[in-house]
Structure 1
């Protein structure tokens, strides 16, 4: 057995499910990441091995945190010319150091395929006979998992802890005062540009970027 295989096997029972680093500042725990606020404008994010799906934590998976953190860092590097980002360093495979930012109360979801299984997914609504989704008119005859005529932006609300996100249209976002028109237009421009870059990179590697969200 090689040293690498032995190390991997040893790590299978050493998942990172919790952190306690009070010397880094105030802790804010999310479903997957533990954030620490040292009070100097930075946010230190520790990506744990916790698995989150359908708005709840299901367990842990070995090495999942460091893979997710390094994957995020890679994508930030690939897209920093499209949109500046908050990342300032990755001192450990599971840790990112970022600058504090004020989040928009909207998730910017881009979709290129008629698919999904959750309550907020396009296909769930389409299969019920709905032909308008987040302000977009959808044609009859779409089949599950096939490409949409064009990629569309389908915003979602950011639910409070314990709540559920809601897919909404541009008009609803503006009517609720979540963001103003100028902010929405700029966020949509960036989301579309990031999605186009992501699809381009994925295609070069034989992959399909079906949908994603930006925050």
Structure 2
């Protein structure tokens, strides 16, 4: 799969450091700017899969860019430009060490906790008598602490965040306010496309002049779960699984092939056919979420393309 980008080793002018995440590589420049490259790496259960997914980085980067542009009237964000389909350039920020997870529906992790008998998640009460994928009376914020490398993110309550001094109360009130505003707008955008924004996570940082801004990605299939609106009610009434638009289909395939990221488990072999099908699903996600046709970038030499476009922009 030489038409994917799974590793980067660039040396841009004024480069100070490189941070390599599960999916994105972030290059810090001396002028307080960051060059963030969305790779084609696929991560599930906190494990990066051995093969890349064609066009995945482009898809995530372009959805995030579009959604940041569509919400910047509500919440300021870090983004300055996207000089390449896989690249975002923006202001350097000090990230908050919490992920702001917001849930409109009892799905995924929340549903698993509920099934296990818990009626509180991150200090937030969940009503009795709910079934999986039911809508909450109003969206609930269930933060997670950002894990140090390799560890899983952990649920944390608002009280613990403040008690441990992870975020000041003044800043946390802003984070909650921004999270609710973004989720409301994201839900409205989804509804226009015949989708339901089920849950998502937002990450925030502080600029050098102390301004809180939205960073990383927003409303992508890697950070969010979507259902199709059509047939949602009928499926709930019949107790059927919802039709999803998210990375969940990859997780389900891995579970069926006996992999959940647990010790001693081996990542199942992904055939070229399977990888092509995952790529097609991501393209479908892009088109549904944005309402636009996906235009494949030239992938004959991605490394060279990215380098040229970034150098041209930095001039």
TM-score normalized by the length of structure 2 = 0.62
Task: Note the residue ranges of structure 1 that are not aligned, 5 or more in a row.
Answer: 1-11
The equivalent of 1:14 in structure 2 is 3
Pair 1:134 & 2:122 matched: yes
**Separation in 1, partners of 2:3, 2:169:** 48
- Per-residue CA deviations over 1:148-201 (Å, capped at 9, x if unaligned) read 111011111011001111111111111111111111111000000000000011
Structure 2 CA distance for aligned equivalents of residues 17 and 137 of structure 1: 41
1:165 is matched with which residue: 142, 153, 157? 153
Q: CA deviation at 1:23?
A: 2.9
Assess if the C-alpha contact under 8 Å between 1:43 and 1:99 holds in 2: yes
What count of residue pairs does the alignment treat as equivalent? 200
Where 1:151 maps in the other structure, the secondary structure is strand
The whole-number CA distance in structure 2 between the counterparts of 1:81 and 1:65 is: 26
Please state whether the residue corresponding to 2:102 is helix, strand or coil. strand
1:51–1:57 contact (8 Å) kept in structure 2: yes
1:94 equivalent in structure 2? 86
Structure 2 counterpart of 1:74: 66
Give the aligned partner of residue 46 of structure 1: 37
SS class of match (2:80): strand
Q: Is the 8 A contact 1:49 1:62 kept in 2?
A: yes
Q: Are positions 1:185 and 2:173 aligned together?
A: yes
Matched, 1:108 2:100: yes
Name the CA distance, whole Å, in 1 between partners of 2:153 and 2:34. Answer: 24
CA-CA distance at 1:64 after TM superposition = 0.6
Task: Summarize deviations over 1:94-148 as a string: whole Å, max 9, x none.
Answer: 11111101111111000011110xxxx2112111111111112112211111111
SS of the counterpart of 1:67? Answer: helix
Secondary structure of 1:172's counterpart equals: helix
Structure 2: gaps of 5 or more residues: 204-315
Matched with 1:36 is: 27
